[in-house]
Amino acid sequence: MRQVLAGLMAGLMVLGTGSVVMAQSGPLRIEITDGVIEPLPIAVPNFVPDSPAATELAVNIARVVAEDLTGTGLFREIPSSAYISQVTNFDAPVQYADWKAINAQALVTGAVGVNGNRLTVRFLGHDIFAQGDLGEGLQFSGTTEGWRRMAHKVADAIYSRITGESGYFDSRVVYVSESGDKANRRKRLAVMDYDGANVQYLTDSASIVLAPRFSPTGDRVLYTSYETGFPQIHVLDIGQVQRRILSSDDGIMSFAPRFAPDGRTVVYSQSQGGNTDLFRMDISTGQRNRLTSAPSIETAPSFSPDGSQIVFESDRSGSQQLYVMSVNGGEARRISFGKEGRYGTPVWSPRGDLIAFTKQNKGRFHIGVMRTDGSEERLLTSSFLDEGPTWSPNGRVIMFARQSQGAAGRSTLYSVDITGRNLKPVRTPDGASDPAWSPLQ
Amino acid sequence: MQTGTKISVAGHTLLAGWVVFGAWFPSEPLPAQVQEVSLISAAEFARLSQQVAAPELAEQPGPTPENAPEPEVAPPPPEPDFQPEPEPEPEPEPEPEPEPEPIVVPPEVVRPPERPTVLPQVTEPETQQKTERVAPVPVAPPDPEAVAGEIEQPAIAPDETGDAPAEAQEATAPEAASDRIVTEENEGEAQVASTEVTRSLRPRSRPARAPEPAPEAEPAPEPVETVEAPEPDTQPAESAAVEDALAEALAGGADVEAEVPSGPPLTLGEKDALRVAVSSCWNVGSLSSEALRTTVEVAVSLAQDGKPDIGSIRMIGSTGGSAAAAKQAYEAARRAIIRCGARGFQLPTEKYGQWRDIEMVFNPERMRIR
C-alpha cells in the first residue's frame, strides 16, 4: 500500500514539476491593479532673472506657476526650505540626486528676461526619477503687463507634459457679479482669469443680466438682459465691449442662449403664450428653426462638442429631467433616471464623455456628472444651493455657483475636480453667479 | 447451582431490595426552608410606602431640629405590627463641618482570573474623511509630529551620553489615506465595517505567589510589561510553508544557472509582497482619463539586493490607449518601480534567479472606478 502511495506521489511530483517549469520558463510576471491617488510632489524654485529688473517678475511667475499646479489638487509643492540645491543658473545641469533626496518627482526651472516692456520667459520641466527633461524647453515672449498670462502658459505646458492632457490655466471665466443685499441686488457682467485675478466689468448694473456664455473662440459672450423689461438675448464683443440684441421680438421672452461649437448658430429658449420651447438661430442671417414643440417647458440647451446633439432639461414627464436630441430637433430620449430628485442646467463636457448637471433632491442641491447615456451618475457636491455648472477647457474641472443660506446669503463661485476632490472657492471681489468658462486662449 | 450463579442471585436480590426499600422510600424528610409571613391591609401598605417615599434626612448639617418645621402630617396611629421610626434626637450643636468618618477599607475581593477575551470590532463606525491620498488600504491620520514615511517607526531621541548604540531617528508614519475618493456628497458616510479583530484584552498575569523568605535582600526586577500581540492566524504561514516545501521539491526540474542562485519559484506570499510594495508607489492621481484606461507592461531587471536597474526599465507593451496615453501610464509605472525600489524590494536572495527579470503589468482598471 505504501509503495502504491509513494508511486502516486512521485507521479504527481513529476507532473507538477513539468507545469511549474513551464510557468517559470520566462521572467517573473506580476499584475498590479491597486495604486494610490495622491498629489505628485513637485518643486518650483524661483525662476532665474537675467537682470535685477527681472527679479520680482521671476519670483512672481514662479509663484503663479506653482499655484496653478497645486491648485489642481494633482500636485503638491515642496517648500523651498527643503531644497538641498538651489537653481541659480538656468543652463546648469540639474542635481537630480538632491531633488530625489527630498522626494521631488518633478522640477520646473525657468529664466526671466526683461528688456524695456518686453518680457521673455524660458522654462524646462524635469522628471527627477527618470533623470531627464519633461519634453523640450519652451520660451514665451510678451509684455510685462501680461506676465500672469505667461505664467499660466508655462503651467499649462508643465501640466500637459506630466498628465498627458491639456491644461486650463490660460483661460478666463465670465460671470454675473452681484453686489448689495438680496432685496436690492445689483448684477453686472464681469470677466476674470480662471483663478479670480484681473477682474473686468463688461456691463453696468442698470439692468439685470443672466447666464453669460462664451463663444467657442472666446471673443464674444451671449447673455440674457432685462434691459427692455423682457428677457432678451444679447451678444457682446469682449475686445471692443460692443453689444447688440440678438432677438428683438416684442412680447417674446428669449433666454438661456448657448453657442454651437462652430460659433455660427445659437440655441436658446423662447417663451410665448405660456409655453417654452427650444429654437436655433443663425447669428449672421437671423433665421430661426424650432427644435421642440411640446406643451412642456424645454430650456437650458447645451451642444455636444461635435455639434450633432443637444442636451436640455424638460418637465414633459411630469418632473424636471434631462433629455438628448439631435441638433435638428426631433424625438428626444430621456437620460436622467434617478429615483428621486429633479435635474437641470445640463452642460456637455468638452471631452464629450460626460454631462454635468444640477440636481435637487430632498431640499439639497448637488452638482453631478453622468455619462451621455445617463449611466454612472455621480454627485460631487452637496449644499443649500449649488447650480450652474461649467466645464474647464480640458473637461477636468467644474466651476459652479454656491448660494449660502439666510437673509445675508451670498453667492460664491466654487470649483471641483470631476472626481469630487479639490472642492474650493474661487476668489472674486463681490458675490458671483452664473459662471461660464472660456476655451484656452 | 454454581458458585458464580449463587453470587449473582444474591447480589441482584440485595440490589432489588435496596431499590425498593431504601431509595424509593427515604426515611428522612427533605429539608425545607420555612418563611413566616404576616398579612397587612392595603391602608397599612400605603402607609409603609409613604414612609419609604418620605424625604430622607439631609446628610449635610441643616437647620437644627429646634428650628426645623414640624411635619404637618401627623404620624399614623401605632399599629401592633408597625413600629414607627423613632424621631432623631436633637443634636446639641450642629457642627458645620462634620469630621470625616474613618474610611473602612473593605477586604479585597478575590475575583476569578479574567479570561482573555477576543472582542470583535466594537469601535464606532469610521466615517469617510477627506484626505489627499487614496490608497488600497485606508490609513488613519498619523501623529501630527510624525513625518510622512513609507513605514511606521517611533521617534528616537539622540542619546547625549553616547551609551546607547541606537541612532536618532524621526518618527515616521504612513500618510493618512482613504480607500476611496471622498467627495462632499459622500463625506461622512460610514466605511464598511471591518471584520478584522482590532484589539483584545491582554491575558491577566499569573497571580503572585505568597512571598517566600528570600535568602538575600536583592530587589526583585520590575516586571516588564509587554504588549502581547494577538496570535496571528497560522493558516497563511502554514500554507506558505507548504508552498515553500512544494516549491523546493519541484525546483529540481528548473533550469539552474551556475552563478546565480535560482532556488525554488517565488511563493504566492512573496509575489504578493512585491506587488504590494510596487502598488504603494504607483500614483495614478495625475494621469489623464485616457492614461487611466491604458494598461502597460513594463520589464525591469533587479540587482541581487532587490534594487531595480533603472536603465533596464522599459515598456514592452500597452493596451487600451493611444501612444501618448501609454507613455504617461508608463512614466507613472516607472516612477513606482524606482521610488519603491530605491531601498531594494524585499525578496529572498536564495531565489534571485527567479526574480532577477520581472515583467509587471500595470492595470489601472480598478483605479478608475474609485
- Which three-class secondary structure state does DSSP give residue B292? helix
Cβ contacts of residue A77 below 8 Å, gap of 6+?
Answer: A41, A42, A43, A44, A66, A69, A70
CA dihedral of residues B295, B301, B305, B308 (deg, nearest 10): -50
Q: What is the mean predicted confidence (pLDDT) over A368-372?
A: 95
Cβ atoms < 10 Å from Cβ of A107? 25
Mark yes or no for CB contact B289/A105 under 8 Å. Answer: no
Cβ contacts of residue B186 below 8 Å, gap of 6+?
Answer: A420, B128
Mark yes or no for CB contact B288/A381 under 8 Å. Answer: no
Mark yes or no for CB contact A20/B299 under 8 Å. Answer: no
Mark yes or no for CB contact B361/A32 under 8 Å. Answer: yes
User: Rg of chain A's alpha carbons, rounded to an integer?
Assistant: 28
Report which DSSP code applies to A342.
E
Residue (of A285, A219, A300) closest to A255 by Cα position: A300
> Which residues does chain A have within 8 Å of residue B274's beta carbon, measured at their own beta carbons?
30
Give A156-196 pLDDT, tens digit per residue: 999 999 988 899 999 999 999 999 887 788 899 999 999 99
Residue (of A314, A404, A398) closest to A354 by Cα position: A398
Say what the pLDDT of residue B151 is: 52
Same domain, yes or no, for A59 and A139?
Answer: yes
Mark yes or no for CB contact B289/A351 under 8 Å. Answer: yes
Higher pLDDT, A197 or B253: A197
> Which residues does chain A have within 8 Å of residue B181's beta carbon, measured at their own beta carbons?
37, 419-421
Query: What's the domain count of chain A?
Result: 2
**In angstroms, rounded to a whole number, what is the distance separating the alpha carbons of residues A317 and B263?**
69
Residue type, A99: W
Q: Residue A274 — very low, low, confident or very high, per pLDDT cuts 50/70/90?
A: confident
The last residue of one of the domains, among A140, A163, A186, is: A163
**Containing H/E element for A173?**
strand A172-179
Give B121-176 pLDDT, tens digit per residue: 434 445 555 667 777 767 777 666 665 555 555 666 555 555 545 555 666 666 77
> Which of A30, A33, A37 has the CB atom closest to B271's CB atom?
A30
**In angstroms, rounded to a whole number, what is the distance separating the alpha carbons of residues B192 and B9?**
74
The answer to whether the beta carbons of residues A291 and A267 sit under 8 Å apart is yes
Residue (of A307, A309, A299) closest to A343 by Cα position: A299
What helix, strand, coil percent values describe chain B, rounded to 5? 25, 10, 65
> Which of A129, A164, A421 has the CB atom closest to B338's CB atom?
A129
Statement: residue A334 has pLDDT above 50: yes
Same domain, yes or no, for A293 and A151?
Answer: no
Cβ atoms < 10 Å from Cβ of B198? 12
Higher pLDDT, A123 or B368: A123
Statement: residue B42 has pLDDT above 80: no
> Which of B250, B289, B367 has the CB atom closest to A20's CB atom?
B250
Same domain, yes or no, for A176 and A281?
Answer: yes
Report which DSSP code applies to B187.
T
Cβ atoms < 10 Å from Cβ of A179? 13
Same domain, yes or no, for A70 and A194?
Answer: no
> Which residues does chain A have within 8 Å of residue B328's beta carbon, measured at their own beta carbons?
162-164
Report which DSSP code applies to B31.
P
Length of chain B: 370
Give B254-303 pLDDT, tens digit per residue: 444 456 777 788 899 999 999 999 999 999 888 888 888 999 999 999 99
**In angstroms, rounded to a whole number, what is the distance separating the alpha carbons of residues A349 and A355?**
6
The last residue of one of the domains, among A134, A163, A192, is: A163
Which residue shows C-alpha cell 456628472? A369
Same domain, yes or no, for A159 and A197?
Answer: no
Same domain, yes or no, for A17 and A94?
Answer: yes
**In angstroms, rounded to a whole number, what is the distance separating the alpha carbons of residues A268 and A255?**
6
Q: How many angstroms separate the first and last alpha carbons of chain B?
A: 94
Burial of A146 (0-12, 13-18, 19+ CB in 10 A): middle
* Distance from the B159 Cα atom to the nearest Cα atom in chain A, whole angstroms: 26
**In angstroms, rounded to a whole number, what is the distance separating the alpha carbons of residues A18 and A7?**
17
**In angstroms, rounded to a whole number, what is the distance separating the alpha carbons of residues B77 and B126?**
65
> Torsions phi, psi of B330, nearest 5?
-65, -40
Same domain, yes or no, for A208 and A117?
Answer: no
Q: With left for phi above 0 and alpha for psi between -120 and 50, is residue B308 left, alpha or beta? A: beta
> Which of A17, A37, A416 has the CB atom closest to B252's CB atom?
A17
* Distance from the B325 Cα atom to the nearest Cα atom in chain A, whole angstroms: 6
Give A223-254 pLDDT, tens digit per residue: 999 888 889 999 999 888 788 888 767 778 89
> Which residues does chain B have within 8 Å of residue A164's beta carbon, measured at their own beta carbons?
287-288, 290-291, 324-325, 327-328
Statement: residue B336 has pLDDT above 50: yes
Say what the pLDDT of residue B68 is: 39
Mark yes or no for CB contact A421/B291 under 8 Å. Answer: no
> Which of A28, A164, A368 has the CB atom closest to B324's CB atom?
A164
For chain B, give me the number of helices (H) and strands (E)? Answer: 7, 7
Residue of B nearest to A32 (CA): B362
Mark yes or no for CB contact B359/A26 under 8 Å. Answer: yes
* Distance from the A265 Cα atom to the nearest Cα atom in chain B, whole angstroms: 31
Give B219-241 pLDDT, tens digit per residue: 444 444 443 444 444 455 555 55
* Distance from the A170 Cα atom to the nearest Cα atom in chain B, whole angstroms: 19
* Distance from the A103 Cα atom to the nearest Cα atom in chain B, whole angstroms: 9
Say what the pLDDT of residue A153 is: 96
Give B165-215 pLDDT, tens digit per residue: 555 566 666 677 777 777 887 776 655 434 344 344 455 556 556 555 544
Residue of B nearest to A364 (CA): B185
Higher pLDDT, B7 or B101: B7
**In angstroms, rounded to a whole number, what is the distance separating the alpha carbons of residues A235 and A108?**
41
Cβ contacts of residue B366 below 8 Å, gap of 6+?
Answer: A33, A34
The answer to whether the beta carbons of residues B329 and B289 sit under 8 Å apart is no
| Beta strands A265-272 and A253-259, pairing class | antiparallel
Which residue shows C-alpha cell 538641498? A84
The answer to whether the beta carbons of residues B113 and B204 sit under 8 Å apart is yes
**In angstroms, rounded to a whole number, what is the distance separating the alpha carbons of residues B84 and A219?**
102
Q: Give the torsion sign (CA, A13, A17, A23, A28).
A: positive
Length of chain A: 441
Cβ contacts of residue B134 below 8 Å, gap of 6+?
Answer: A36, A37, A38, B177, B178, B179, B180, B181, B285, B370
The answer to whether the beta carbons of residues B313 and B348 sit under 8 Å apart is no
Say what the pLDDT of residue B253 is: 44
* Distance from the B223 Cα atom to the nearest Cα atom in chain A, whole angstroms: 43
| Beta strands B147-148 and B172-173, pairing class | parallel
The last residue of one of the domains, among A142, A163, A184, is: A163
Q: What domains lie within chain B, and their CATH numbers?
A: 268-367 (3.30.1150.10)
Q: What is the mean predicted confidence (pLDDT) over B302-315?
A: 93
Q: Residue A18 — very low, low, confident or very high, per pLDDT cuts 50/70/90?
A: very low
Mark yes or no for CB contact B175/A38 under 8 Å. Answer: yes
Give B44-99 pLDDT, tens digit per residue: 776 665 544 444 443 444 343 344 344 444 444 444 444 444 444 444 454 444 44
Say what the pLDDT of residue B157 is: 58
Say what the pLDDT of residue B259 is: 65
Q: What is the DSSP string of B135-163?
A: -SS-B----TTSEE-SS-B--B---SSS-
| Core vs surface per residue A198-232: b (16+ CB within 10 A) or e | ebeebbebeeebbbbbbbbebebbbbbbbbeebbb
What CATH number is given to the structural domain containing A71?
3.40.50.10070
Same domain, yes or no, for A199 and A123?
Answer: no
Same domain, yes or no, for A270 and A329?
Answer: yes
**In angstroms, rounded to a whole number, what is the distance separating the alpha carbons of residues B276 and A35?**
9
What CATH number is given to the structural domain containing A220?
2.120.10.30
CA B48 to chain centroid, in Å, comes to 52
Helices (H), B87-215: none
Residue of A14, A34, A99 to mutate for B, most B C-beta atoms under 10 A = A34
Cell numbers linked to A402 = 454656491
* Distance from the A75 Cα atom to the nearest Cα atom in chain B, whole angstroms: 8
* Distance from the A418 Cα atom to the nearest Cα atom in chain B, whole angstroms: 10
CA-based max dimension of chain B: 113
> Which residues does chain B have within 8 Å of residue A104's beta carbon, measured at their own beta carbons?
none
> Which of A17, A40, A379 has the CB atom closest to B283's CB atom?
A40
Q: What is the mean predicted confidence (pLDDT) over A92-120?
A: 94
- Residue A154 belongs to domain spanning: 2-163
* Distance from the A164 Cα atom to the nearest Cα atom in chain B, whole angstroms: 6
CA-based max dimension of chain A: 105
Which residue shows C-alpha cell 526586577? B221
Residue (of B279, B69, B85, B75) closest to A32 by Cα position: B279
Which residue shows C-alpha cell 489627499? B132
> Torsions phi, psi of A29, nearest 5?
-130, 125
A276 DSSP β-pair partners: A271, A297
Same domain, yes or no, for A194 and A284?
Answer: yes
Residue (of A286, A315, A311, A290) closest to A300 by Cα position: A311
Cβ atoms < 10 Å from Cβ of B223? 8
Cell numbers linked to A173 = 471665466
Cell numbers linked to B342 = 530605491
> Which residues does chain B have within 8 Å of residue A13's beta carbon, measured at their own beta carbons?
249-250
Size of interface A-B (CB pairs under 8 A): 178
Burial of A251 (0-12, 13-18, 19+ CB in 10 A): exposed
**In angstroms, rounded to a whole number, what is the distance separating the alpha carbons of residues A431 and A406?**
15
> Which residues does chain B have within 8 Å of residue A162's beta carbon, measured at their own beta carbons?
286, 328
Residue of B nearest to A130 (CA): B335
Mark yes or no for CB contact B331/A75 under 8 Å. Answer: no
> Which residues does chain A have within 8 Å of residue B291's beta carbon, measured at their own beta carbons?
163-164
Cβ contacts of residue B38 below 8 Å, gap of 6+?
Answer: B81
> Which of B136, B185, B254 has the CB atom closest to A24's CB atom?
B254
Mark yes or no for CB contact A32/B362 under 8 Å. Answer: yes
Same domain, yes or no, for A113 and A251?
Answer: no
Same domain, yes or no, for A221 and A311?
Answer: yes
Give A380-435 pLDDT, tens digit per residue: 999 999 999 999 999 999 999 999 988 778 899 999 999 899 999 999 999 999 99
- Which three-class secondary structure state does DSSP give residue A351? coil
Strands (E) in A246-353, as ranges, are 253-259, 265-272, 275-282, 288-290, 298-303, 309-314, 321-326, 329-334, 342-348
Strands (E) in chain B, as ranges, are 133-134, 147-148, 172-173, 177-178, 295-301, 314-319, 357-362
Mark yes or no for CB contact B132/A39 under 8 Å. Answer: yes
Tell me the C-alpha to C-alpha distance, in Å, between residue B23 and each of B15, B27, B28, B31: 10, 9, 11, 17
Q: Give the torsion sign (CA, B17, B19, B24, B28).
A: positive
> Which of B254, B280, B327 has the CB atom closest to A36's CB atom?
B280
* Distance from the B282 Cα atom to the nearest Cα atom in chain A, whole angstroms: 5
Tell me the C-alpha to C-alpha distance, in Å, between residue A78 and each of A66, A148, A301, B82: 10, 22, 44, 87
